[in-house]
Structures are given as structure tokens and as C-alpha cells.
Amino acid sequence: MVRFAIFGAGAWGTALAIHLARAGQVVTLVPRREEQAALMRSQRQNEARLPGFSLPDNLHVDADSDQALANSDVVFLGCPSVGLKDLCHSLSVSPALRVGGHGHVLISLAKGLEQKTLDVPSRVVQAALPYSDFGILSGPSFASEIAAGKPAALVLAMHGPSELIEDIQCALSNAAMRIYLSDDILGVELGGCLKNIYAISAGICASLDLGSNATSALLTRALNEMVTLSVAMGADLRTLYGLAGFGDLMATCSDDQSRNRTFGKRIGRGESAEAILASQGSVVEGYRACDCFYQLCQKRGLVAPILNQIYAVLFECKPARQALTDLMTRSLKAEH
């Protein structure tokens, strides 16, 4: 049996914990603070982050990270990208962490880059915990739908012993969740990061009432841009046409459950990014990712017209309609 610990009791971490407990797995959800853990244990729900969903009786909630590590084999890193480095550092000094050989397997749920270094999650984790087996779980996965037991398909990208990877795949999978395997960790990471940026542009399109033709064109060209950038950075082309790329892009751009899409809708209505971020408690990964990928494109000489316009709207106060005009009046070319 595979034993799981999920560090980070946000909406997605909580939903994944509910899914695993419902599937009969041994799982501990680890909030950052003991008072949060105590409240969740007494209420049997995460009212702050995922209200309306009961925690199964067999789901343990414990803020004692050493105890959670001692009772687990697979550790999900369920924090936003901005907190990933600090979480990894805290785990690295824990006497309960097992590394190398039959040590803990670390699986990231983050969908963003480290802002100072522009590193993908795998590089952040491996810098702090270089001897641990590592993977990333990604794909279209709204937390409320996972918690409700609605069907979903995700991709788990890992390097390590094949038997171990298959054991984790089987433990995660049931009639409500189908897990596909990949060895392209970088591609899965980049797909999960980039789609959040383009979801902001989809929200802007919606608020400006540009219509289905414009939205379809945007998403098609956004996918092309995702593929171009990811392959230039070393990803496998096929990954971006799978669940972590195209699949996550479609979900995030088409549904208001997406924080990035709703953020874009508010931007399109004329609100400033700073005011929106200050008014909500949740992280908008696409906002940070846009800044990071803009810097990467500048450093590497990569062409990303849509991303560049989103950056100009978010960080240079460019009017959204002017950004649209500039995209539509670029020099004409063939579609490849």
C-alpha cells in the first residue's frame, strides 16, 4: 500500500486528499498551521478553501510535518509556486524525511515558475532535495469537481523505478480519476504554467464580448504559442497536445472556476491588476507566470506575440482593446 501526505491545505490539495481517502488510500493532509488543522478536524471540512465538501472519516489532518512524513511514502507538494522553495527547505531539515533508495517520493502540484530564478518546480525541488525521486501531477483539475467525485483525467510525469511509478499511478486511479504516465517532466510543468497566462487573455476576451470566433482563434494561437515556447525550452511536442497542455488550456480558459480567467475578466472591465490581487486571498498563478515567461522570452529571443500583449496589459497599463488591435494588425503570415 502507498501512503500519502499532502503538504498544503488549499483547495486543490484538499480535493486531492478527499479523492485519495475516498479511494481507500492512507492519506494525511498537512495544513501550515495547527489552528487550521484543528478547525478542519472539528468541522470535517475545509471551510476557508473548499467549503461544502465533507472530509472522509479516514482522511487524517495533522499540522505536524514530521509525523506526516514518518507515516507516508509519497509527498504531494500542494503549495503555490511562490511558496515551493520555502516548503522544500522545511522538508529538507526534517529528520523524518527519507532520501535516496527507498526514500520519499516528492510530487509537485505547483503550476508556476520560481520568480527570482525563473526555475520550473522540478529544479526548485531538486535544488533543495537532490536525492529524492520526483514527479509532477497536472492536467485539467478544478478542485470542486475532484472533491465532488466527477470524472477527470490527469498526467503524472516521473522519473524513477517503473514499478514504483505504476504503484502510484494505480493508487491515484479509480472510476473517478484516470492517471496517464509521462516521462516529460519539463513539458508537463511548462504546460501547467503557460496555460494560466492564456486563461487571463480568455477572460479579457469574455469581458470585452469579442465573441466565439475571437475566443476560438485566441485559444488556437495560444496553443501554438505554448508549443513553440515549450519545445524551444526542451519539452516534448507531444506533451503540449495532451492533458497537461491542450487539456488544461481548454478547461482553464473556458470556465469561471478558473481564478486566472476571472482575473482576466476583471482586467478587461478596466480594473488594475494590483487592485484585483489585493482584493482576493487566492494566488493568481498566471499573473506571476506572465512576468516570468516574458523575462525568459526576452533572454532567449523567443517570439510570443500573445504573451507579450498580455504582459503589456498587466504590467505596462496598456488598454486591452489596444492590445487586441495590435495582435490583429500584425504582419500577415501563413499558418504552420
Q: In whole angstroms, what is the distance from residue 130 CA to residue 223 CA?
A: 33
- Neighbouring CB atoms inside 10 A of 316's CB total 8
Q: In whole angstroms, what is the distance from residue 326 CA to residue 70 CA?
A: 55
Q: Crossing angle for the helix pair 259-268 and 185-207, nearest 10 degrees?
A: 40
Q: In whole angstroms, what is the distance from residue 200 CA to residue 145 CA?
A: 21
For residue 163, give every residue at least 6 positions away whose Cβ sits within 8 Å of its Cβ, in sequence order, or none: none
Q: In whole angstroms, what is the distance from residue 239 CA to residue 283 CA?
A: 26
**What is the three-class DSSP state of 12?**
helix
The conformational region for residue 317 under phi > 0 = left, psi -120 to 50 = alpha, else beta, is: left
Would you name the residues annotated as active-site residues? 195
* Nearest C-alpha neighbor of 220 from the set 198, 192, 197, 243: 198
Q: Can you say how many angstroms the Cα of residue 47 is from the centroid of all Cα atoms in its chain?
A: 21
For residue 268, give every residue at least 6 positions away whose Cβ sits within 8 Å of its Cβ, in sequence order, or none: 203, 204, 205, 206, 207, 208, 320
Q: In whole angstroms, what is the distance from residue 276 CA to residue 159 CA?
A: 39
